[in-house]
Amino acid sequence: MTLQQFFRALNPIELLRRDFFIYILIGLLCGGAAVIFHISIRFVFDSLHQYQHQQTPWTMLALMISLPALGGLFIGLIIQYIEPQAGGGGIPQTKAAYWNGSGILTLKEAFWRFVLTVISLGSGGSLGREGPTVHLCASIASKTGQWLKLRKEAFSAMIPIGMGAGLAAAFNTPLAAITFVIEEILLHDYRAKAIGGIIFAAVTAAAVERLVLGSNPVYLVGLPPFDIDWWMLICLPIGVLGGVFSHVFVSGLLGTRKIFQNWRQCPDWGKPAIGGLAMGITGTMVFIITEHEGIFGLGYNDFSDTLSGNIVGVTLVVLFIGKIIATILSYSSGGSGGIIAPSLYIGMMLGGSLGSLLIHFFDLSNNIIGGAALLGMGAFFAGSIRVPFTSVLLVYEMTGNYSLILPLMFGNMLAYNIAERLRPTPLHEALLIQNGIHLNYKSSPSR
């Protein structure tokens, strides 16, 4: 090695060109972006929520109805006049960039999706932050590749790395993030080397998230470890109903979305406002009946209460139906946000309803409701998003409860197979097809 080559090897830019440092850099950037995203959404939602509860009861109810509509109006205007590509969940757009595009995602689109999701969830929209987080981090990874002047063929390879980092930081679930990228985007383009990059970035992003927000699971569950028992056979009806109702949910979402798309009498900028108004009315009605506000926003309090066995009976059924309707309205009308968190919420209420029915007829602890709710989370998620391995790991990492892993695996696979038979095309791909985009799986963009 010449002296010139030696100093060149020590050059920081040359070091950054090495794959390992690129993966770590992407993980750091994505972890930081995901934390800022999380804090921004919680700040806006908590501020508006606190303001609502400081008002008189009738004013509070009026705000619960109107705020999602007002948020939808801002979203519609921004999409119409500033960034037309910033609506939706972000994962379909990321898949299209990987398979059909050159792997280039713009930070402009990612920034406005960030803003729109903060507005949507902050004002009470019934969606999640995971899809926009995945898109944001995939965009950061793509831009990093451009900034480091990598080969154009390498831009697409950056997208799965950013996706993994994004989901790991969004849910504090690095293992599920890795399998999600494999099942969602790399199933037709599996390469061991790509998995290494995803692991490095996901671990780094999750470490950043834990340093800032803490190492606890996303949902603090007061469930004890369960021994193998007969009641775990509830995974059978949960799996069947999870598959059937996830199909109903996906069909309803796609059908309602088509209605909004074909509604020519209403301007496009007004559709998210109308969907937000209908969603606000739905959430308010559910609140009047149940005194629970989980239909609005992410619904974290309902997650913890249900998994701890503190919500029982008809309340679970009402929240299950209400969340399905609210999520369909929020997403189909053009709102900004993801489907993963609502799918987990809906599944939790489905499983909890069956668990509540079980303890009604048998002398069992209320903890069974929480256990059944956890099984429902996985089953409905597997059926609606179609990532069965991820569904197992995600529920385990989010709750920290390993004792239900066997019925969880069985119920999830049952729901997945039923949903796939009823509708072979996964949700994220079906959304692209509805927009006239067909993924080109014949080419391998990362090679």
Predicted confidence (pLDDT) at residue 9 exceeds the cutoff of 50:
no
> Using CA of residue 158, residue 162, residue 165, residue 171, what is the dihedral sign?
negative
The pLDDT, as a whole number, for residue 223 is 74
Q: Give the rounded percent of residues in the chain with a pLDDT score beyond 70.
A: 91
Rounded (10°) angle between helices 367-385 and 427-434: 40
Amino acid found at 329: L
Q: For 384-392, what is the mean pLDDT?
A: 93
Please tell me the least confidently modeled range out of 2-6, 155-159, 239-243: 2-6
Residues 13-213, CATH architecture? Orthogonal Bundle (1.10)
Higher pLDDT pick, 300 / 278: 278
Give the pTM.
Answer: 0.92
Provide the pLDDT for residue 7. Answer: 42
| pLDDT confidence of residue 146 | 82
Per domain, the residue ranges of the chain are 13-213, 230-435
Give the C-alpha separation, 351 to 324, whole Å: 14
Cα gap 375→396, rounded to integer Å:
10
Give the pLDDT mean for 316-321.
96
**Does this chain's domain 13-213 share its CATH topology with 230-435?**
yes
Rounded distance between C-alpha atoms, residue 380 and residue 239, angstroms: 8
User: Which of 301, 306, 386 is closest to 339 using CA atoms?
Assistant: 386
**Are 345 and 294 a contacting pair, CB within 8 Å?**
yes
* pLDDT confidence bin for 16, thresholds 50/70/90: very low
Q: Which is more confidently placed, 403 or 349?
A: 349
Q: How far is CA 191 from CA 166, 282, 389, in A?
A: 20, 45, 18
Q: Is the pLDDT of residue 151 over 80?
A: no
pLDDT at 26 over 90: yes
Rounded Cα–Cα distance for residues 273 and 78 (Å): 12
> Is the model's pLDDT at 224 over the cut of 80?
no
**What mean pLDDT, rounded, does the chain reach?**
88
Question: What pLDDT is attached to residue 202?
Answer: 93
Q: What is the pLDDT of residue 191?
A: 61
A 10 A CB-CB count for 363 gives 5
Percent of the chain surpassing pLDDT 90: 64
Instruction: Judge whether residue 11 has pLDDT over 70.
Output: no
How much is the pLDDT for 34? Answer: 93
pLDDT band at 192 (very low <50, low <70, confident <90, very high): low
**If pLDDT is split at 50, 70 and 90, which confidence band does 203 have?**
very high
pLDDT of residue 157: 83
* Mean pLDDT, range 132-149, rounded to an integer: 89
pLDDT at residue 331 above 60? yes
In sequence order, what are the residues at sequence separation of 6 or more whose Cβ sits closer than 8 angstroms to the Cβ of residue 36? none
Q: Both tokens of residue 438? A: 């067909």
DSSP 128: B
Query: How confident is the model over 350-363, as a mean pLDDT?
Result: 92
What's the CATH class of domain 230-435?
A: mainly alpha
Write the single-letter amino acid at 192. Answer: A
Across 42-60, average pLDDT? 94
Between 32-41, 84-93, 123-132, 410-419, the lowest mean confidence (pLDDT) is in 84-93
